[in-house]
Amino acid sequence: MLDQMLAVNVRGVFLAIQAAAARLRDGGRIITIGSNTAVRGGVVGSSVYAMTKSAVATLVRELALDLAPRRITVNNVQPGPIETDITADVLDMLVQRNPLGRVGQPQEVAGLVAYLAGPEASYMTGASLTLDGGWVI
């Protein structure tokens, strides 16, 4: 399990960023999707997953420095519980646990990604933005 999660969640993200950076024009944007578990997991058995998501946040922060001379921004979106097919069976529990009393919607994550891809976010780089309704507070 450790090797597979490291391969997908860390190595895969690194290689994807490396490939994107090689093809991006100066001033481009790289946005990764991490997880709020990088900040606080709180679920038994999630230590390896949380560690890999923390590694993504660190990777983004440090690669942002490497790509700054090209004005390429690198940011990370860390969603918490989002209403998807994967969360359908535990939706009630997630809603009860969330301070806002609901889970996020896919379009809310997309909206943050769109902002980071746009000109308004050209001064933001190396950031990990948690979007989870207060889950990790």
Cα(100)–Cα(126) distance, integer angstroms: 27
Question: Which residues form the catalytic set?
Answer: 49
pLDDT at 43: 79
Half-sphere exposure of 5 (CA within 13 A, CB side): 14
pLDDT at 83: 96
Domains delineated in the chain:
2-131 (3.40.50.720)
pLDDT at 113: 98
pLDDT tens by residue, 11-53: 999 999 999 999 999 999 999 999 999 998 777 889 999 999 9
Contact call for residues 29 and 116 (beta carbons, < 8 A): yes
Which bin fits 133, alpha (ψ -120 to 50), beta or left (φ > 0)? Answer: left
Confidence of residue 134 (pLDDT cuts 50, 70, 90): very high
pLDDT tens by residue, 69-111: 999 999 999 999 999 999 999 999 999 999 999 999 999 999 9
